[in-house]
Amino acid sequence: MNDLASTERFTDRVADYVRYRPDYPPALTEWLRDQHGITPSWKVADIGAGTGISSKLFLDAGHEVTAVEPNAAMREAAVAWLGGNPRFSAVDGRAEATTLADASVDLVCAAQAFHWFDQQAVKPEWRRILRPGGLVAVYWNSRRLTGSAFLEGYEQLLLDYGLDYSSVSERYGDDAHMRRWFGSGLRGMAYFDHGQRLDFDALRGRLLSSSYAPRAGHPEHAPMLQALERLFADTARDGFIDFDYDTRVFVGVPD
C-alpha cells in the first residue's frame, strides 16, 4: 500500500473518526505505571496520533504529550480538541521521520496507526528520540470477530462490502509478529477488555470512519448501509449493540 494511501486515506473521514472511534481503557496506562514504572513525569511522543484519541489517554494520566501526525486534517482536529491543554503539542511529522530532537522523550507510543508504518524504518528513528532508559509502547483496539450475532454479522458485512478490508486487516500484527518486532527488547504484553455501546447512528458513524468503507457515491455505499440496518434490526437490544474489543499492548525497546 503506497505512502499516500496510508497518510491521506482518512482525510475525508475525520468527523466520523472524532465522534465514533473508540478510546482506550485507563487500565492500559495503569498497567504501564505499575508494571513498567512509566510515571506522569515521562514525556510522551504519540506517533501517528490522528485526531488525538491516544494522546488524550496519556494527557488524562498526567503526561506531557507531543502528537506526531502527517495528515493535516487529523492533526488540526487533535489541536482543536486538545490544544487548550498546556501539556499538549502537535507536530507535522512521520513515524519514520518525527522531527523530534535526539533523546527528547521518555516514551514513544503508537496506537491504531502502527500497522500503517514502515515497521523496520521506525526502529532507528524511535531509538534516536528516546532518552536512555526510555520505552516504546504499541497498542490498539482489536475488534472481536466472534462471540455474538452482531460481531459475526459485522465481520461478514465488512468482507462483503469493504473495499480493501481483507488487505487492511491483514496488516495488524498478532502476538508472534509483535514478539518478532520487539525481539529481545520486549518487556511485557497485556490484554484489556474494552468496548462501545452504540445506537444505530453511532454504529453507522463507526463504520464510515473506517478507511475501507465505501463512501457516498460508490455503488456499494447504499447496499452496505442497508445491510447494516438489517444487521442492527436483527441484533440490537433496547436500541443498542455492543461493539467489543480486546485492547492489546506491547512494551519494550525494539532491537
Split at pLDDT 50, 70, 90, the class of 14 is confident
Closest to 107 measured CA to CA, from 124, 75, 79, 131? 131
Tell me the three cell numbers of residue 175.
502476538
* Mean pLDDT along residues 181-200: 98
Percent of the chain scored above 70 by pLDDT?
A: 93
Q: What one-letter code names the amino acid at 245? A: Y
Query: Can you give the pLDDT at residue 136?
Result: 98
Query: Can you give the pLDDT at residue 50?
Result: 94
Give tens-digit pLDDT for 196-250: 999 999 999 999 988 899 999 999 999 999 999 999 999 999 999 999 999 999 9
Listing DSSP states for the chain in one string gives --HHHHHHTTGGGHHHHHHHS----HHHHHHHHHHH---TTSEEEEET-TTSHHHHHHHHTT-EEEEE---HHHHHHHHHHHTTSTTEEEE--BTTB--PPTT-EEEEEE-GGGGGS-TTTHHHHHHHHEEEEEEEEEEEEEE--SSSHHHHHHHHHHHHH-SSHHHHHTTS--HHHHHHHHGGGEEEEEEEEEEEEE-HHHHHHHHHTSTTSPPTTSTTHHHHHHHHHHHHHHH-BTTBEEEEEEEEEEEE---
Write the burial class of residue 27 (CB in 10 Å: 0-12 exposed, 13-18 middle, 19+ buried): middle
Query: Considering the chain, what is the average pLDDT of its residues?
Result: 93
- List of domains in the chain: 3-144+172-197+246-252 (3.40.50.150)
Split at pLDDT 50, 70, 90, the class of 172 is low
Query: Can you give the pLDDT at residue 126?
Result: 98
* pLDDT of 17 over the 90 cut: no
Q: Structure pTM?
A: 0.89
Query: Can you give the pLDDT at residue 3?
Result: 41
Torsion of CA 61, 173, 112, 221, to 10 degrees: -150
Give tens-digit pLDDT for 57-100: 999 999 999 999 999 999 999 999 999 999 999 999 999 999 99
